[in-house]
A and B are shown apart, each in its own frame.
Chain A
Amino acid sequence: MAEKYLDCLGEACPVPLVKTQNAIKDMAVGDVLVVGIDHTCAMKNVPDWARGQGYNVEIEEVGDGEWEVVIEKTC
């Protein structure tokens, strides 16, 4: 049950989603990835994609227009 942070602050689409996909590929089932995002589009398309894959997703607004997307690789 490892937790990993991925810093995507200041990055525009499609970089956050591409990096998230790459990171998830290398993770084991049960691991958690926390993606730091301040791109308003990425805070929609990263969770969209992860939910579509069947993972558990939580979004927390940690600052003004800054989010942490917590993705648990469940399958």
Chain B
Amino acid sequence: MEEKQIQPTLYETLFKKEWSYYTGAVLIVIFALALSMFGSTWGVSGALGTWGSMFLGLFGIDTAAAFGNDTSKYNFFANQASLTDIGLLLGALIACLLAAQWKIRNIKHYKQALAAIIGGLLMGIGAKMAGGCNIGGLFSQLPQFSLAAWLFLLFVFLGATVGGKLLKFFMPPVSNKRPNRKRLSAEQKARNKKIQITAAVVIILVLLVVAFAVAPTYPAAPLMMVIGVGLGYSMQRSRFCFTAAYRDPMLTGETKLTRAVIVAFALSTILFFGKHAAAFGTDLSKLTADNMPGNVINLQMIIGSFIFGIGAVLAGGCASGTFVRMGEGYVQLWICFPFFCLGNAVAGGITKATAGTWFTAGSKVYLPQVFGGLVPALLIQLAALLALWVLASWWESKKRASF
């Protein structure tokens, strides 16, 4: 069997051929930086908790009193996370349609639904406790020299390792029977392609109309929509996945995404270095808990990131991954989504009940203060990321050799 080398057509190059993980990493970093400059840093899970609370509110539950989630002032078009979250879904949908690869990807076994429900709940609860998901708690924070994000990375990795061990209980049984599906003829493929591309164009036009319609009332909304769609499109085309970065090394021995995410962290670190240097100057002693970047380090955050790791492996995607895969038509992630929302909403009760106790006691740690300035922090953080990259590369070769 020889490997065939067929020259891709222009259409395939533009809309179909998957991008490298590194292409995805660079684009995601640029979009995320744009968000942090024109709005606030990228977060995904926050809006899910709001939606979960609004749903519970339909049943007369006072979510403000019970879970500390006041949704009375919520407005979809004035909420950055809501717009970028739906953007992720629509961007992935558009990418998938333009590639003529959209279909309903149904589950085939009840265990997948079970994994989605349990995974969704665990992710929702974990993200609330940890103060963010892979994005808000990790990707948007680690480049901002927050020690909490490094701890999130460690504990989400441990959680994912546990999740990987649990996964075998949720795997559909191995089937070696080829499903009896009709192969599409060339004409059918061409017709489907036309339908899918038309659908993508219609969605883009509708989005443009919506953007123009809301722009006078919510000037920031169109830009947030564009960035969200850009993120979703980039993640779909490059098959970028934050969960795989810390899940796959232990489970399959693959570290290509791990290394791409490390490169994304490094690039983003350099960009945020500039932003912080401009904002804080050389005197970091004036930073207070209020304007210091990053999450508070406490037991709740540690446990939350661990739980989030288990959930993300079971569900088959983190918060951003859930939106991207919903756009691609995955039934498993559509099942996961409402449970993520509910878990995130209800877990607000944990934060509320433990406020002021040892469970939530802690402080922020901003690494430039520890290392005596932004420049040493930058160099140490880049060196640490490089070391992780080398370790990941070595690990993959080792696992390959022993397979």
Interface residues of A (CB under 8 A from B): 4-7, 9-15, 17-19, 21-23, 25, 32, 34, 36, 38-41, 43-45, 48-49, 52-53, 56-58, 61-66, 70, 72
Residues of B within 8 A of A5 (CB): 176-178
A10 to B116 alpha-carbon distance, docked (Å): 13
Closest to A65 in B: B101
Q: Which of A39, A45, A58, A61 contacts B254 (CB 8 A)?
A: A45
B184: Cβ under 8 A from any A Cβ: yes
A15 to B105 alpha-carbon distance, docked (Å): 15
**A44-B239, A62-B181 given; 7 more Cβ-contact pairs under 8 Å:** A5-B177, A10-B332, A11-B112, A14-B164, A21-B252, A34-B178, A45-B244
Q: Give the shortest distance, in Å, between A20 (CB) and chain B (any CB).
A: 9
B62: Cβ under 8 A from any A Cβ: no
Q: Give the shortest distance, in Å, between B333 (CB) and chain A (any CB).
A: 7
Residues of A within 8 A of B101 (CB): 40, 61, 64-65
Whether B252 and A49, one on each chain, are in contact in the complex, defined by CB atoms closer than 8 angstroms, is yes
Residues of A within 8 A of B184 (CB): 62-64
Q: Which of B192, B244, B333 contacts A14 (CB 8 A)?
A: B244
Q: Which residues in chain B, 360-403, are within 8 Å of chain A measured between CB atoms?
A: 396, 400, 403
Whether B196 and A64, one on each chain, are in contact in the complex, defined by CB atoms closer than 8 angstroms, is yes
Whether B177 and A7, one on each chain, are in contact in the complex, defined by CB atoms closer than 8 angstroms, is yes
Whether B247 and A14, one on each chain, are in contact in the complex, defined by CB atoms closer than 8 angstroms, is yes
Whether A12 and B325, one on each chain, are in contact in the complex, defined by CB atoms closer than 8 angstroms, is yes
Whether A18 and B171, one on each chain, are in contact in the complex, defined by CB atoms closer than 8 angstroms, is yes
Residues of A within 8 A of B333 (CB): 12
Whether A4 and B176, one on each chain, are in contact in the complex, defined by CB atoms closer than 8 angstroms, is yes
Whether B3 and A56, one on each chain, are in contact in the complex, defined by CB atoms closer than 8 angstroms, is yes
A12 to B254 alpha-carbon distance, docked (Å): 16
Q: Give the shortest distance, in Å, between A50 (CB) and chain B (any CB).
A: 11
User: How many inter-chain residue pairs (CB < 8 Å) link A and B?
Assistant: 134
**17 A-B pairs with C-beta separation under 8 A:** A4-B176, A10-B108, A12-B330, A12-B332, A13-B241, A13-B316, A17-B248, A18-B167, A19-B171, A23-B174, A25-B403, A34-B178, A41-B241, A45-B244, A63-B103, A64-B193, A64-B196
B128: Cβ under 8 A from any A Cβ: no
Residues of B within 8 A of A52 (CB): 396, 400
Whether A48 and B251, one on each chain, are in contact in the complex, defined by CB atoms closer than 8 angstroms, is no
Closest to B396 in A: A52
Q: Which of B99, B103, B174, B175 contacts A38 (CB 8 A)?
A: B103
Q: Give the shortest distance, in Å, between B159 (CB) and chain A (any CB).
A: 15
Q: Which residues in chain B, 243-278, are within 8 Å of chain A measured between CB atoms?
A: 244, 247-248, 251-252, 254, 256-257
Known A7-B179, A12-B317; judge A64-B192 contact (CB<8 A): yes
Q: Which residues in chain B, 100-114, are within 8 Å of chain A measured between CB atoms?
A: 100-103, 105-108, 112
Q: Which of A13, A17, A19, A40 contacts B174 (CB 8 A)?
A: A19
Whether B400 and A13, one on each chain, are in contact in the complex, defined by CB atoms closer than 8 angstroms, is no
| Chain B 92-136: CB-based contact to A (< 8 A → 1; otherwise 0) | 000010011111011110001000000000000000000000000
A63 to B189 alpha-carbon distance, docked (Å): 8
Whether A9 and B400, one on each chain, are in contact in the complex, defined by CB atoms closer than 8 angstroms, is no
Residues of B within 8 A of A63 (CB): 103, 181, 183-184
Whether A39 and B252, one on each chain, are in contact in the complex, defined by CB atoms closer than 8 angstroms, is no
Q: Give the shortest distance, in Å, between B186 (CB) and chain A (any CB).
A: 12
Known A10-B106, A11-B112; judge A18-B176 contact (CB<8 A): no
B172: Cβ under 8 A from any A Cβ: yes
Whether B179 and A36, one on each chain, are in contact in the complex, defined by CB atoms closer than 8 angstroms, is yes
